[in-house]
Amino acid sequence: MRNLLLVLGFSVVLVSAGCTRSAPNETNENSAAATELSQFTDPNLALAEGTKFLDTGETDKAIDALSQAVKLNPELGEAWFKLGIAYALAEKRDETLETTRPESSSNDKKPTKTNSEKAFEKAVAAYKKITSQNDQDDVAYFNLGRAYNKLNEDEDAAKALKQAVKLKPDDTEYQTELGAILIKLAQYHEAIAPLKKALELDPDNIRAQELLEDAEAGRSRVNYASTPKKPSNSNASSNSNSNTAPPSDNRPPPPPPESNTAKPRPTPTRPS
């Protein structure tokens, strides 16, 4: 009987301990749910939370937080830009799911502007407004160039990034992005200088090193294509043989030999 009581007492202790350990887990789950459903009143706080979700790969949560940020402050360019990235990730994910379905057909869909494109256009508008008010804001020019790049408006992207580099030439990230967009434009010669500068500022810049190799390879291809081709050895030998051949006889042929048959003479006219 005593042993039975000890066993029952020990079981009660274990159950109590299990309940105690589960309490923090329930608290964490409730906290996570509260965070997911939270409504922000500060756009910068929403931007920070959206950035955190973006970094951890929680795309849908990032979209929710960043959407709140731009709703609270429609001129917050950084929030628009990161919202564009989050939408682009979600669109790529959804596109992958669509292609795996046998009944899906991309031909039935009309091309429409995506949410990511709309967000990047809003980012461009926000950064253009900033640069119009302060033409010395290198960060705004840099982000403007990145937003243009996302929209594949490469000429405008290069123009904005050149201005950022002009305002702050000692920024390795600015130099790297400028080199990247110039490669995208197939301006390989022009891309080499900023990429070398980026490596000079940061020798451990692996992306700049890889882009520099691409730029130099592209320059070599362009130079090879623009170099006049030399004649091959067979053509040269043929030309050489033709040059050493004896000159052709361009003299007119001799007249044909006269026939042995006498020509008839005119009959002389006798005087009457």
CATH number of the domain bearing residue 80: 1.25.40.10
143: in domain: yes
Structural domain count of the chain: 2
Would 171 be classed as within a structural domain? yes
Q: Are residues 121 and 148 in the same domain?
A: no
Q: Is residue 19 in a domain?
A: no
User: What average pLDDT score do residues 7-29 get?
Assistant: 48
Asked whether residue 9 carries a pLDDT value surpassing 70, the answer given is: no
Buried b (16+ CB within 10 A) or exposed e, 51-75: bebbeeebbebbbbbbbbbbebbee
Return the pLDDT at 104.
52
Domain ranges, residue 191: 134-225
Pick from 126, 57, 113: nearest CA to 85:
57
More confident residue, 146 or 230: 146
Is 52 part of a structural domain of the chain? Answer: yes
**What integer is the mean pLDDT of 164-187?**
98
Model pLDDT, residue 243? 55
Whether residue 159 is found in the same domain as residue 120 = no
Residue 118, CA distances (Å) to 44, 83, 114 in order: 21, 10, 6
**Phi, psi dihedral angles at 269 (to 5 degrees):** -90, 125
Nearest CA among 80, 77, 79, 86 for reference residue 54:
86
